[in-house]
Structures are given as C-alpha cells and as structure tokens.
C-alpha cells in the first residue's frame, strides 16, 4: 500500500505557524474571537486562521479527527518536516536550535501508535527531498533565520507587526528569487497580508491576499497546498475589503468580498453536501463570525434578501452554542436587512427568494421586518454574561433596531404613536447606556493599576467583525440620527437612511 505523506505543505511557513500558534495557545486566555474557527465544546484557545484545524466538539475528538485526516489523506503533498531537516543539513543548521520542530509534530506524536497499528509509516520516514539545478533551491541558513524572526516578531509574545513586516518582505523576495513552489509563496503572501491588516494597511493587504489566491489556484498548487490556505486567504481578502469602510469600498470590491465570504464558508464545510446552501450552512457552523460578516457584505452589495437569510442563520448558530448576545445582534441585523428589502420591494417579500432558503432551517424566512425586529428587541433582555462590553453592544444594537422599527411604523399613519414610542424608548435606552459607559470609564481611571496586570489587546484596529459594533461610549441617540454615523458605523444603505430621516423630521 502506498505510504501517504502526512504534512500538507512543503513550506517552512507552516512549521513556524504551528510553533507560533502553540505558543499563543499557552499564553492566551481560553476565549474565542472572530479570528478563530469556532469549537463547539469545550472552547479552545484562539489561533490565527491559517493555523486553525478541523472544528470538533472536544479536544479528544479533535485528536481523533486529526488522526483520521493524517491516515487517510492520499494527496502527495511535500513533507515540510523533511524539507526542514534537509535544508538544515545542507546549510549546516540545526533546526531544533532554531526552534523549528518537525512539521505537525504535535499531531504526529499523538498518532504514532495509530499509524504503526495501521502499518503506515510517518511522513518523516518516507519523504526525501531531491535538489536539482533546475528546480527550486533550498533556502539558505540566513533566509531560514530571517523567516523564523519574522514569525517570532508577528506571533510571539511581544507581537510586533512593524518589526515583522520588513522581515516578511525580505523572505518573500528570497522565496521569489530562489523560485520556491507556488504554494509556499502563497502561504507567505497570505501571512504578510495578515501582518499588514494589523498595521491597518488594508489596500496593501488586499494585494497580498490576491497574489496568494492566484498562486493557490495554479495547477501545481492544487495538489500540494494546505487545504486551509485558500479559505484563509479568501477570508483575509474579504475582511480587508470590509475594513476599507462603506464609503471607500467600490462596487467591484463589494462583489468580490461577497464571493470571497461565500467561498470561504463553502470550503469550510466539513462534509460533502448536495447543495451550496447546505455547504454554506455547515461552513457557518465552523465560523459564525465570518457568516455574520458575509451577511454584512451582502447588505453592502445591496443583496438585502440574501443578507437577511444569512443573518438569521448566524443567529441560530450563535444561539446553538449558547452565545445569546451575538445571536440577538444577528437577529436584529436580519430585521434591518428585511427592512431594507421591504423598502426596495415596496413592502413585498419575494416568495422565490424565501423558498430558496429552505435548507437553512430558517423559521423566520417569511416574517416581515417588523415581526423580526420586535422579536429581537424582546430577546435583548435574555442576553447575559460577564463580558460587559458585549452586553453594551447588545443594548446599542437594540437601540438601532428600535429606530429602524420606528421608521417602518411611521410609514403607516395608524402606527405613528407606536413609532414615536419606539423612538423615545430607543433614545432613553441609549442615554442610559452612555451614562453607564462613562461611569465605568471613570471607575477604571480611578482604580489603581494592579501589579503584573496586563491590558487586553485586539488583533486588529480595523473594523470588520461583529465585535466592532459601536459600544457604550460611541452609541447615542444623537449619533444614531447622524447620516455619516449611519453610513460608516451602522452600515445603513441610503434607502434606509432616507426612511429614517422622514421619521426624524416628522414628515
């Protein structure tokens, strides 16, 4: 029987990603954010997208799935572990001295017994690397050190992307100069795109992600590239586009972003399904954060009916993992999408579009905007937890939902009293939220710093995910009435802004 290779890329890149993600796993708190593929239970530490494995229900199940993946994969990818060893021998460098263990060491160690029982040798004993004069030349010792320093600077404890970026630049130049395989170069471009995102260089990041995607689509990369690299690159480009902001995104970029999110969810599906809808649904279960962003990208692209369906799906997924706060936020967004859809269609919902969403198990697909918004507003009282900032965003989102609901009711003269009541309640709740935020800020300023305490940090200052929504100190009744705020922070289309202005001007 043919001995399959177990590692999925011939690049030193993935080895360093494993080291970086392993280090981060030990140092970070066990939380989940928008950069991680979401586990069901228990919650595992956050890792960057390219270092994220198959989503499973427990760590034990994770090991079993990794075992099955390693033992059954037949794609002849290059063994990263052996490349590292051969490069090190050629250049007189000790890989272990560089802190570079064999590729997938944490997986292979767990599965050695299973592999032996199945009569399958590990990748580190079956793959050899032959260097020819016409093929890619192995990296020099200095190039390996430069790449290792780049990953250490970007993923290490100090997390300094400004130091890492020029090192990544040098590494890419050396990889291009030595004609390294396309899948290796793609991985490096993708990571440099991630680095640029942390430095708020969105447009430059888009360029890197695009190069990575083009390289990964080459025939030579399809067989060799790690299967998680393409969805990671697509997701990176989609998020970079979203981070440009509604006023900066071109129509072409909006369409590209929508397709990138869609393909990301399809590629993240864990099984082969008969329909695209089923693939998207399963992909959303692996990363509901990306699914929520997909809905917002659809709204940006004026695909309101589709955005509503995706946000309803996202709400269900978040609710299924007991994340009530983000479930409510997603449901409110579905109501806002439905409001935009009704404004465009003159109050009529396309039955054809609704029937196409059957595979999403969407119980609200035929509900009108007001019904969804009223239901979501009621659910805000069920959101609870220790994350104060998240709960504040729920209240802010409730205020947004009430304003949109009031605008819809204002169009019906028989409901104008209800509209005024909704607007009044929204402003009252937002004012209370602002006061609470100010009090907490003052309390934090007066509190003495705890020795050894560390401040929390975010992966990026750019806005693209569900946790970037305005919070207590940014949301207020006056701001919600401002058209620039509605465009840039609430991501309302012009049609919804016009509808709301008629309410505010009592027309």
Query: Is 429 inside any structural domain?
Result: yes
Q: What is the pLDDT of residue 211?
A: 98
- DSSP H/E element including 16: helix 12-27
Give the span between the Cα atoms of 330 and 470, in whole angstroms.
14
The confidence band for 20, taking pLDDT boundaries of 50, 70 and 90, is low
Bond prior to 42 in cis (omega within 30° of 0): yes
Q: Is the pLDDT assigned to residue 417 strictly greater than 50?
A: yes
Count of structural domains, the chain: 1
Q: What is the pLDDT of residue 506?
A: 81
Query: Is 17 inside any structural domain?
Result: no
The contacts of residue 478 (CB under 8 Å, 6+ apart) are none
Residue with tokens 């990889």: 175
Query: Is 366 inside any structural domain?
Result: yes
Tokens of 238: 């989609």
Query: Is 248 inside any structural domain?
Result: no
Taking the complete model, does pTM exceed 0.95, yes or no?
no
Q: What is the pLDDT of residue 18?
A: 54
The contacts of residue 5 (CB under 8 Å, 6+ apart) are 76, 77, 78, 79, 123, 126, 127
Question: DSSP class of residue 380?
Answer: G
Query: Is 378 inside any structural domain?
Result: yes
| Lowest-pLDDT range of 271-280, 459-468, 472-481, 493-502 | 459-468
Query: Is 401 inside any structural domain?
Result: yes
Q: What percent of the chain has pLDDT over 70?
A: 67
| Lowest-pLDDT range of 48-52, 251-255, 378-382, 486-490 | 48-52
Instruction: State the residue range of the domain holding 479.
Output: 310-350+362-444+464-506
Q: Is the pLDDT assigned to residue 108 strictly greater than 50?
A: no
Per-residue b/e over 433-469, b at no fewer than 16 CB within 10 Å?
bbebbeeeeeeeeeeeeeeeeeeeeeebebbbbbbbb
Query: Is 413 inside any structural domain?
Result: yes
Give the span between the Cα atoms of 49 and 63, in whole angstroms.
19
Residue among 251, 395, 287 at smallest CA distance from 55: 287
Q: Is the pLDDT assigned to residue 345 strictly greater than 60?
A: yes
Query: Is 68 inside any structural domain?
Result: no
Q: Is the pLDDT assigned to residue 281 strictly greater than 50?
A: yes
Q: How far is CA 205 from CA 197, 328, 338, 391, 489, in A?
A: 6, 32, 33, 32, 22
The confidence band for 449, taking pLDDT boundaries of 50, 70 and 90, is low
Question: DSSP class of residue 468?
Answer: G
Instruction: Say if residues 299 and 307 touch (Cβ distance below 8 Å).
Output: yes
N-terminal to C-terminal alpha carbon distance within the chain: 77
Q: What is the pLDDT of residue 442?
A: 86
Q: How far is CA 198 from CA 28, 38, 46, 167, 388, in A?
A: 18, 21, 16, 15, 25
What average pLDDT does range 198-211 have in this prediction? Answer: 97
């Amino acid at each position: 029987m043919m001995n399959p290779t177990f590692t999925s890329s011939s690049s030193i890149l993935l080895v360093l990603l494993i080291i970086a993600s392993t280090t981060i796993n030990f140092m970070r708190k066990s939380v989940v954010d928008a950069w991680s593929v979401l586990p069901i239970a228990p919650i595992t530490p956050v890792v960057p997208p390219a270092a994220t494995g198959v989503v499973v229900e427990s760590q034990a199940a994770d090991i079993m799935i990794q075992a099955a993946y390693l033992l059954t994969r037949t794609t002849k990818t290059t063994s990263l572990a052996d490349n590292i060893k051969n490069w090190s021998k050629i250049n007189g460098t000790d890989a272990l001295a560089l802190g570079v263990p064999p590729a997938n060491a944490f997986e292979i160690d767990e599965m050695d017994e299973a592999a032996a029982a199945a009569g399958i040798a590990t990748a580190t004993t079956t793959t050899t690397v032959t260097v020819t004069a016409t093929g890619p030349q192995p990296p020099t010792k200095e190039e390996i050190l430069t790449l290792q320093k780049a990953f250490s600077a970007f993923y290490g404890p100090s997390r300094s992307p400004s130091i890492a970026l020029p090192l990544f630049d040098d590494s890419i130049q050396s990889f291009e100069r030595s004609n390294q395989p396309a899948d290796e170069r793609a991985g490096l471009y993708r990571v440099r795109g991630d680095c640029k995102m942390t430095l708020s260089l969105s447009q430059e990041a888009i360029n890197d992600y695009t190069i990575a995607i083009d390289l990964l689509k080459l025939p030579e990369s399809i067989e060799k590239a790690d299967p998680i690299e393409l969805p990671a690159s697509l997701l990176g480009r989609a998020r970079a586009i979203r981070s440009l902001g509604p006023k900066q995104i071109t129509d072409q970029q909006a369409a590209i972003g929508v397709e990138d999110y869609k393909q990301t969810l399809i590629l993240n599906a864990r099984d082969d399904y008969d329909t695209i809808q089923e693939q998207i649904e399963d992909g959303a279960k692996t990363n509901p954060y990306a699914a929520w962003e997909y809905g917002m990208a659809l709204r940006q692209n004026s695909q309101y009916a589709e955005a509503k369906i995706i946000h309803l799906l996202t709400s269900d997924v978040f609710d299924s993992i007991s994340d009530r706060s983000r479930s409510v936020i997603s449901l409110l967004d579905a109501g806002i999408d439905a409001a935009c859809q009704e404004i465009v269609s003159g109050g009529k919902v396309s039955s054809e579009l609704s029937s196409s969403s059957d595979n999403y198990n969407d119980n609200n697909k035929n509900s009108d905007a007001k019904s969804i918004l009223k239901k979501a507003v009621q659910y805000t009282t069920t959101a609870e937890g220790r994350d104060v900032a998240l709960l504040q965003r729920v209240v802010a989102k409730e205020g947004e939902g009430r304003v949109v609901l009031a605008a819809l009711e204002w169009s019906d003269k028989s409901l104008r009293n209800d509209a005024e009541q909704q607007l009044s309640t929204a402003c009252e709740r937002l004012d209370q939220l602002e006061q609470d935020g100010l009090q907490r800020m003052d309390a934090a300023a007066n509190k003495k710093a705890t020795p050894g305490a560390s401040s929390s940090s975010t992966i990026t200052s750019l806005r693209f995910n569900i946790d970037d929504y305005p919070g207590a100190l940014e949301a207020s009744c006056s701001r919600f009435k401002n058209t620039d705020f509605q465009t840039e922070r609430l991501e309302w289309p012009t049609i919804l802004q016009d509808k709301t202005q008629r309410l505010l001007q009592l027309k």
